[in-house]
Amino acid sequence: MYDTQERLRRAKQAALRLTRKRERQALRRLEALCAVLGLALTGALVCVSGKTPGAVQGAYGATLLTDRAGGYVLVAVISFAAAVALTVACMRLRRRSRPGKDEAPGGKRPPAADR
């Protein structure tokens, strides 16, 4: 039989293992979401851009000089918005995984003005 200290240590280890497992699962989901989003945006770029080559053959930056550059700009804006949303989701996930960091030494959170 285990004493109280040993049981407490084992319970904390089990809790830490479960927390890490949940974090790994969340990261796998985010990785899959990124892959799907990347493929979808690549497909959208191909569909929107059509078969028209750039204004200068071999210069990919010159494609923005053509009249059909609106699709490229649209895909860029969507990509940026998706990246911002993904970054915010990751930051919230990280903040949620460490709840004790925002608390004061007494276990109470400080007032919002002091943060």
109 inside domain: no
9: pLDDT confidence band, cut at 50, 70 and 90?
very high
List CB contacts of 55: < 8 A, sequence separation 6 or more: 62, 63, 65, 66
Q: How many residues make up the chain in this entry?
A: 115
110 inside domain: no
80 inside domain: yes
114 inside domain: no
22 inside domain: yes
Q: Do residues 57 and 46 touch, judged by C-beta distance below 8 A?
A: no
- Total domains present in the chain: 1
The sign of the CA dihedral 81, 87, 93, 96 is negative
44 inside domain: yes
pLDDT at position 55, please?
A: 46
72 inside domain: yes
DSSP category for residue 94: H
Residue 60 CA to residue 47 CA, distance in Å, equals: 17
Structural domain that includes position 87: 7-51+63-97
Average pLDDT over residues 5-26: 91
113 inside domain: no
